Structure 1
């Protein structure tokens, strides 16, 4: 009887240690792609560590621990949707470290411009209507298609690295404190359809490469400090302010 009980105890001990090893491996290696973990840690710290349940500035496992607003596919963070977070701080310069992310949105509820967020198509980044300042990040995901930073407190110049966003179709940087000249970085952005740079402190003349924006239908540059001639091709844009 004693031998039988000892055998059972040994079996239970093996099961316990097995679960312990699995748990330890989960902690050691984590479920979330390490590049995504580094990117979201950096973003959280840059934003000033806002009150977002589960989020931390170092380490953690966003996918396994279900951080607020984080949606994953396997080990990859695919989207971050934050409702009414009223974000401040800055964006930092590590957004390009996200491996597969398709969307980061800060919205006041579940509908954005009449479109339910789960029906949004393409790579969608929207930090509009917050209190985020600092420079626009120079290291952005090259898969970005829609990029909205309007009505924040961004300052400094528009980065030259904009030229790497060859999939960009819509960009709104209006109502910030951006200054300096628009970079001559539009050579490869022929798919850009809508561009809003209004209500900033941008100066100088419009760069020659903006004539390459063959798909552009809406351009708003009003309420800036521009001078010099407007490239002739741009005068044919259907909606030009």
Structure 2
């Protein structure tokens, strides 16, 4: 039975509180800074309940904080582990060298093909990048998987929600059952749902009340149990 632990905290501060070399895989999707620029000129969705350049759903994670984020991701990951970062083409050129400076080896951008075009003026957007980084050396589970992943986007879901099927590909490729998967920008919990469906444990954090409530409900619906409940169950089984 998979367990989960959720927290309401700043991503970097939460990672700082985690033990070193305690995580098998990190998959995450920060609300990157370029979203604000695109939203200001109307080339991306204006999120429900937004107010000017800010919004009710999530806070923008500034590019200036990438070095501390990548440093903490590197620290909490075990040796021979992978790190996947969702981003747009503009953010890729900023994030890649900063992650390399933190120690990661960059393999390539994986293309998420959303199958249908989205917002924009100049060649409307149909794809997003997933930057593939490595700490140490780890073999992918299936070397036959292509670097373009065709998975339909989520319609009418949580803002910027990623399909669970997409995270499942990454989790299968870069972890084993029983491993710990982490997402420090939790959102709707799609990474966590994918993790528990595949028999992994999940840890995540977000600042938004609604994100935590949605994620908790989704994880429980998948049969995952809170970490404390899992520990109690194991102790009872051992004593019996």
Could you state the TM-score of these two structures normalised by the residue count of structure 1?
0.30
Higher relative contact order (CA 8 A, sep 6+): 2
**Larger radius of gyration between Structure 1 and Structure 2:** 1
Could you state the TM-score of these two structures normalised by the residue count of structure 2?
0.30
